[in-house]
Amino acid sequence: MTSESTVTLFTKPSTPTEPAGVRWKIADIEALFALPFLDLMFRAQEVHRANFKAGEVQRSTLLSIKTGGCSEDCGYCSQSARHDTGLEREALMPLDEVLERARAAKESGSSRFCMGAAWRSPNEKNLAAVIEMVSEVKKLGLETCVTLGMLDAEQARQLANAGLDYYNHNIDTAPERYGEVVTTHTLQDRLDTIAKVRDAGINVCSGGIVGMGEGQTGRAGLIAQLANMEPPPESVPINKLIAFPGTPLADSEAIDPFDFVRTVAVARITMPGSFVRLSAGREQMSDELQALCFMAGANSIFYGERLLTTGNADTDADMRLFARLGLVSI
């Protein structure tokens, strides 16, 4: 694989708030967003093909193992106990049901199985149950990923010892907008958990949500925060806001489809060795829009008919789309 040093950077002045020595300055990323659409797509394809085999897309399945009742106030989330979304709080799913879902995911072509729980952070009892899930799912021959909220160093170590492959902890939005989206934790809280996961030897899955009114500058700030991690996340989910009724962001104006594709392309260029994943909101995307996202460098999708509490693209439709585009699952 080639490194990001092979990509020519733009040289607009950086903003005064940027630390010295970052790989990607916000001005450089804004210049990428400002490229003519076809030029940006061409650059993204060049970077993608230098780092990945064209036409290969990883399929992952996401299962909510504990739904609702979260104490956090994330403005986009239907699972927050602070929002009146009509979502009922559910107990932690039993191991046998999780394994049944994992087997079905593998049979349908997924290579990674992701388990999500609506917690601020797991307690000792719940973590022990999730560790058993991780261990048993790995025995099925699947990569494992969990998202459980904030972790301390010992919790991260226990998950690593269970063989966890990836920990998902999205940073959601640009640093300067973080307090507008969530107030019950800070961006630094998120970064601290990511650092603990890294120190434990677990791969990082971290991305964000677009369409929350952040604009192009906000999207550039989000990408800069991710791309300047050392190293960048191995998986980068790009989520399109699902404006869930009852959440503070329910009335957000939908992101322009071409701006969404631009975000995927810029993520690909700035994080050349990462899997860039089409995540939440994909069920609202046409086949043509998804094809543009693959052209822009997306090479991972969530596969299956549910994403935590929201719908996802139909699996049969995904198989037809892969066939039409000549894509190969990995």
Catalytic positions are 70, 74, 77, 114, 145, 205, 277
Q: Are 31 and 236 in contact (CB under 8 A)?
A: no
Four-CA torsion 86, 91, 97, 102, nearest 10 degrees: 70
Q: Which of 151, 108, 109 is nearest to 131 (CA)?
A: 151
- Outline where DSSP puts E strands in the chain: 56-66, 112-117, 143-147, 166-168, 203-205, 208-210, 235-240, 275-278, 300-302, 306-307, 310-311, 328-329
Q: Which residues contact 137 (CB under 8 A, 6 or more apart)?
A: 98, 99, 102, 113, 115, 144
Number of neighbours of residue 10 by Cβ within 10 angstroms: 14
Nearest Cα residue to 278 out of 318, 220, 219, 238: 238
327 to 16, 305, 321: CA distances (angstroms):
43, 20, 8
Please provide residue 275's backbone torsions phi and psi, each rounded to the nearest 5 degrees.
-75, 125
d(CA 75, CA 85): 12
Rounded Cα gap, residues 144 and 194, in angstroms: 17
Provide φ and ψ at 210, rounded to 5°.
-115, 155
Instruction: Report the C-alpha gap between 194 and 168 in whole angstroms.
Output: 9
Instruction: Enter the tokens of residue 238.
Output: 């790009």
The CB density around residue 238, as the number of other CB atoms within 10 Å, is 29
Q: Cα(59)–Cα(113) distance, rounded to whole angstroms?
A: 9
